[in-house]
Amino acid sequence: MRIALLGGTGDIGEGLALRWAFHTDHEVLIGSRDPERARTKAEEYETELDSRGVEVSIKGFENGMAADRADVIVLAVPPYHVADTVEAIADRLDGADVLVSPATGIRRDDAGFHYHAPSAGSVTKLAADAAPADVPVVGAFHNLAAGRLADLDADLGIDTLLVADDEDAKETVRLLAEGIEGLRALDAGGIANAPEVEGITPLLINVASNNDGMHDLGVRFE
């Protein structure tokens, strides 16, 4: 399968790109608003993987071109860029594609980090509202620590929660997620449940910030 990581030059994009290229045979494409930056980062990822004995080809494109070439498109962009990014690539999408939204809205004050939902209720719903009607959206990878994900020496042993209204699309993303060694995907229901899932992220940051030895915290449901 061909996976495009739009905003794949950022932290979560890097982690997912490295893990998929390291653990699976899926083809990984890096997207960016700046195609030269996408190509540069793709080369950096190739170099990292080559140092670990994995020879893969990772290509970089402008976001629209990356989306046009992919089966699954991951919106690895900040929450305030999600709707604009979807709208910018909408004419490159069709009903055979799957959009994945890992972003979560967070605000910070003196007390710590808090969930900050957009007017749609969740970032996943924001992406779904912006997407063409026939293109399914899956919320996934919200609660993964980017640093832990990008460290290929780190054992994951954590879960990611999936929310979607399209069961086939959810199953596609489940299989992609579980292709990453140490990552388990759990069904958390429909997109209406996305606020509860996205809200776990600031909780994890607060726990990590207030406890020694909790850096790059993840969750595991038992």
pTM exceeds cut of 0.85: yes
Look at residue 75 in the predicted model and tell me its pLDDT: 98
SS3 156: coil
Q: Please state, in angstroms and rounded to a whole number, the distance separating the CA atoms of residues 201 and 218.
A: 9
Q: Please state, in angstroms and rounded to a whole number, the distance separating the CA atoms of residues 85 and 81.
A: 6
Look at residue 213 in the predicted model and tell me its pLDDT: 84
- Would you give the DSSP letter of residue 135? S
Please list the rounded mean pLDDT of every run of 10 residues in the chain (222 residues): 95 96 96 96 96 94 96 96 96 96 96 94 97 97 93 94 98 98 97 97 93 87 92
Look at residue 184 in the predicted model and tell me its pLDDT: 97
Q: Hey, what domains does the chain have and what are their CATH numbers?
A: 2-210 (3.40.50.720)
Look at residue 118 in the predicted model and tell me its pLDDT: 94
Q: Where are the alpha helices (DSSP H) in the chain?
A: 11-23, 35-50, 63-69, 82-89, 123-130, 146-150, 167-178, 194-198, 200-210
Look at residue 217 in the predicted model and tell me its pLDDT: 85
Distances (CA, A) of 83 to 2, 80, 88: 22, 7, 9
- Would you give the DSSP letter of residue 190? S
How far does the chain reach from its first CA to its final CA, in angstroms?
31
